[in-house]
Chains A and B, each alone.
Chain A
Amino acid sequence: MKAKWQIVMLSAVLAVILSAPVMGADTIKLGGLYNLTGGMSSIDAPALNGAKLQAKLINEAGGVLGKNLEVIGIDTKTDQKAAATGAKKALAMGVVAGLGYGDTTFVMAAAPLFQKKGVPFVTSGATHPMLPKWVGDYMFMVPFGDDDQSFAIAEYTVNKLGAKKVAVWTDNSMDFTKALSKFYKQRITELGGTIVLEDFFMMGDKDFSAQIARLKNADPAPEAVFVSAIPNEAGLTVKQIREAGLTLPIVSGDGFDTELVTTVPGDKLANDVYFSTHTYREDNRPEVLAFVKAYEKEYNRPPENAFAALGFDAVGLIADAIKRANSTDGKALRDALAATKGFKAVTGEISYTRPSGVPMKGVSIISVKNGKYKVEEVWYPKN
């Protein structure tokens, strides 16, 4: 009994001691809200690493406004409640801007609190095109919107692959995959194509034989299949479609931007796959090469995915705005962010010229042929 109380007391004392903030005297604080544990951690943890790396590089080059930049990583545990408290915590610590998340759900729990306090929030990876409208004028997006990536691959399907009759598979369990399919179908029909078959599956499905059977028997026969999936299902669907002897092109969005597309089916079967994604993979612009090199040096491994680069860009974007505003005041910083034009980010140039608040950004179309990734073209939105 006594020993147990000692443990309890010890941990309590430890907690109190460590609660005392160990802050540098004069830093510009940014709140990095990410789900570092739980289901979203494979996407969010690299993003925070990217963000911290950018801050480190900026500090080594002299900092911003003569001060060091500090990214305070706050783990929100893939839990909306923790996202809301995390945001309040960051605001109470006096951050000048917030950044974070690869998923819209969590942005919507945190960002409105920043909006209310007049502190800008930059999401590094959430792609819902309505986000800035839902949250308000202090909300900024680093990535393109889901509509842009769907339009890009839809135009590629019709114009370059020459497929006008397409089948659409949708993961019906996620908002992101549903939105992707919606915009894809919209643009295909606008371009004079037809959706000959629509099929659904759920996140975590392992067997796609029913969908494949319907795909084989569809009449008229589809000339391409759009698979709206996240990484887990990306590799599996490619493998099973190809194993069934179907050779039609498989197209998708940034959910396919993963090694699983080639490792799960193997190089032979990973063929004739096309997807739209952030301009980062297989890209050799100097920003990309420098980022990959710095990341490898800092963490002893290559960047896990595009979200690492997006986190890196989020901090870069904020630092750039602080410099131009010459201030860390919320209003001035917001105005500077909104005026961002041609910011050279790792994931492409960012300009906020649209009324929707979604950046005008290039979208890479990447092909996979016999297990090799190649950038086919970079698509730019027209307005």
Chain B
Amino acid sequence: MIIALAGNPNCGKTTLFNALTGSTAHVGNWPGVTVDKREGTYKKRGLKIQIVDLPGIYSLSPYTPEEVVSRNYIIKERPDLVVNVVDATNLERNLYLTTQLLELDVPVVIALNMGDVLKKEGKSLDDAKLSKLFKVPVVKISALKKEGLEELMCTVSESAASAREGFSVIEKGALENLFKDAKTLYKDKGADNVAFRAVKAIEQDVEEVKTNSDVTAKIKEKLNDGEDYEAVVADLRYTFITEKTKGVVGGKQKAVKLSASDRIDRVLTHRIWGIPIFLFIMFAVFHLTFSEDFLYLGAMGAIPESANPTGWNNIFGNGAINAPGTILFNLMDLATGKLGDLVAGAMPEGTWYTSMVCDGLLGGVFSVLSFIPQILVLFLFLSILEDSGYMARVAFIMDRAFRRFGLSGKSFLPLLMCFGCAVPGIMATRTIESERERRLTIMITPFFSCGAKLPIWACIGSVLFAGQYKDLIVYGVYVLGIAVAVLSALVLKKLVIKGETSAFIMELPEYRRPQFSNTMIHLWQKLKHYLFRAATVIAGATVVIWFLTSFSFSFSFVEDQGESILGVISKAFQWLFVPLGFAMGEDGWKFVVAAFSGLIAKEMVVSVLGMFAGMSNDVLDLDESTLLSTGFGSLVVGMAGGVPAAMAFMAFNLLSVPCMAAVGAASGELSKKKYLFGAIAYWMLTAYIVSALIFWIGRYWWISIILAGIVTVAVAAKLIYDKYGKKRVKTVKDINKE
């Protein structure tokens, strides 16, 4: 038996689903759209019921992917029964969806949730009256306390057997005759879900017009011009609910006294303090996850720096304490490193398959695995913020600032996360409902300099200008990234991802204490998702890359990466990068190989350069002050293009495809392959153009004057066109009118 859970967002549907299915749940996407599809099984008392969790929706309108997915699922997949979860503390709006679900010919059981909260407020709940009104069984439950669940499932298994015919609350009232006519037309046609379709025909619903154009056209003839039938139907529904459900919730009216939730909200969305508090919370989350100087104890000199760092210092920090996220990262790094050594020790030295397993497969997979603790810590905090209801307020506070870039308040968090790692950042775009905004947000994610790119800026910064301007260089790269992201958003909004700015009509749920079990289930699902990626996409990619960097075209194993397949390809494409400066000269191809391997993982850029510089130990392990005197230093300082070429090289690494893991994440969040290839092309193109500009302006400063001239002329031309060109068009039209 298959049943579906349907209900408003925040009605406790997820809690109920988790309580019923436990760990059996698995998450996927509905085909073609990035809307979560969750399935699980309920096994108790000899019952075995498969449960599909439909996305949280307010209505069955045809305008959002969640709503279309839900109604198509019920109509086409025909579950045996729909459990409509209703939040008793917000009865009116929740029952609005109920009136729509009941129009479908599917058995329905109403799960009346959060009655215990009402009871606490001294109110009663008349479930019998509700059951009589809607002619379906109503079961009181508390998803949180796991009360009434067995009774709910027993009622479900009993009700699923008996068929139910849909009925609509509009069958009486202003649209009575129209509804009857439409119903007859559908009955004659032999259609299913007659009541539902009849209402949709009256609304001239776009999805229904597509499927049954003959009937909707006949109904359209009977509709009055200029009358807004969607409004009439919505009004009838709410009127029915307000009138008929009077007394379902008994007891005195809501107290005038502010609830705890209201008091919290007054502080968190305060006109003046709202934004500073938000920035502080975000900072705290990142500090706890990524900082290597927790609570700034090191900067304050509270902890002495050890002259002989031990293994413990590397994990917990030296001269400072690492944040919990960093400690976990170091532990994971240590564990994977030791495991790698063990495997390497057990395999024969110097063979190609040892190299494949150790350098290729394990190296790639472990570097991804070591990010898991930090990603989990980050998601733990974000999940807590989400569950508590604060995330909705973040969108509320930040919406204004983001709207001018074609984004909404919900884009802020994913973008911020990209300073840590683009992979969780891209995955977090799932919370953005508008497909358009999600695409736009994903397109600008790589421009935010992530943790893996930092070593590139740090190492090159420490050798350019003898390391004098290192801080400035690192800072400059971050600013460049943000500037390109902002410009990109403006350009993409205007040219590529056009369309109206989506609405920002969002419920602000009451603040609630996050549920430990929900948070853990959420984290577990994220972990599974990420591990799956690491085991498939990333493992595959790293083996391919290892092959490309270790073998020549004659399939012989090479020590010098310049002779490898990737090296040869890079040399072949060297000319393409000469305009960017860094490919100039004898050593130019080395930087091309580094940039190419950076497309796979940015961690590789510095290590590839170090390898070309003939350094036996890892560049990253060296003290930055001694880097200048090494082969790495002379390689970078000796670039044929000079400092501008080094700058262009950094810009290219900053803006191009961040890594294969990010591409994998993006392909999971973008609904069409076309969009993914578009994003990749856009990243590469932006990287190329910006790097070229930086190199040429750095080389010949007067180019900036020419560019400024071109921009001025273009802007002036646009202004003149806006002023006179449009006017002329208008006058022509005016003449025609006259």
Tell me whether A and B are bound partners.
no
- Residues of B at the A interface (CB closer than 8 Å) are none
